[in-house]
Amino acid sequence: MKKYLTAVALLSALFAAAGIHSAVAQTSQTSDTTKTKTTTAKKKAPVKKKSGTKAKAGAAAAAAAAPAAAKMPFSSEAEDDESEPELGGTKSADFNCELSQKLTIWKNDDDDKHIAIRWNKRIHRLTRVSTTTGANRFENRKMGLVWIGIPAKGILLDSKKGQQLANECKNADQQAAAAAPVAVAAAPKS
């Protein structure tokens, strides 16, 4: 029994020493890492600010170059993305929708595969998707926008959320066509 207790005491002392040693090693590694981080942080040189008109001109040039680089060609074969399309040479149509919502669609006569749509103060590029019904359907899969246009109206959908964003969207021509039959029906018969 005495041998057994002695063996247990030795093993527990050995495990305890090994446990304390690994904890000390982890603590010393952590403190070494902390010291390294603080010394590298202290070694960084202070950033000097540019002064004068050169700094302002450089900032203005960088700001002007950034939006130009972000624009995507309207009729490119590139995949839809989140950058705004270039709208040069396009025709626009303003649509008034239910609940006083408004959107604008740009079309290029030379490219019937793409449209650009302004929704929520942002311009999105949509690509035509073929349909069996003959409706004009355009999608931007990354943003989840779907525009479906028929001769009487248009509708904007969010395919990611599965909801309508704008319904009963009509441009000036569609509003005039919708009002014409009402005017003819209201005219007195002779």
Q: Is the pLDDT of residue 188 over 70?
A: no
User: Helix, strand, or coil here: 101?
Assistant: coil
In whole angstroms, give the CA distance from residue 167 to residue 97: 6
Write the pLDDT tens digit of every residue in 98-133: 999 999 999 988 888 999 999 988 999 999 999 999
> Would you state the pLDDT for residue 72?
54
Pick the residue with more confidence: 113 or 83? 113
Q: Is the pLDDT of residue 87 over 70?
A: yes
In whole angstroms, give the CA distance from residue 168 to residue 97: 5
pLDDT tier at 24, thresholds 50, 70, 90: very low
Pick the residue with more confidence: 92 or 79? 92
**Which residue, chain included where needed, has tokens 């319904």?**
167
Residue 24 near residue 16, CB atoms below 8 Å: no
Average pLDDT of the segment spanning 3-23: 62
In whole angstroms, give the CA distance from residue 59 to residue 164: 41
What share of residues in the chain are helix, strand, coil (percent, to 5)? 40, 30, 30
pTM metric for this prediction: 0.55
Write the pLDDT tens digit of every residue in 141-178: 999 999 999 999 999 999 999 999 999 999 988 888 88
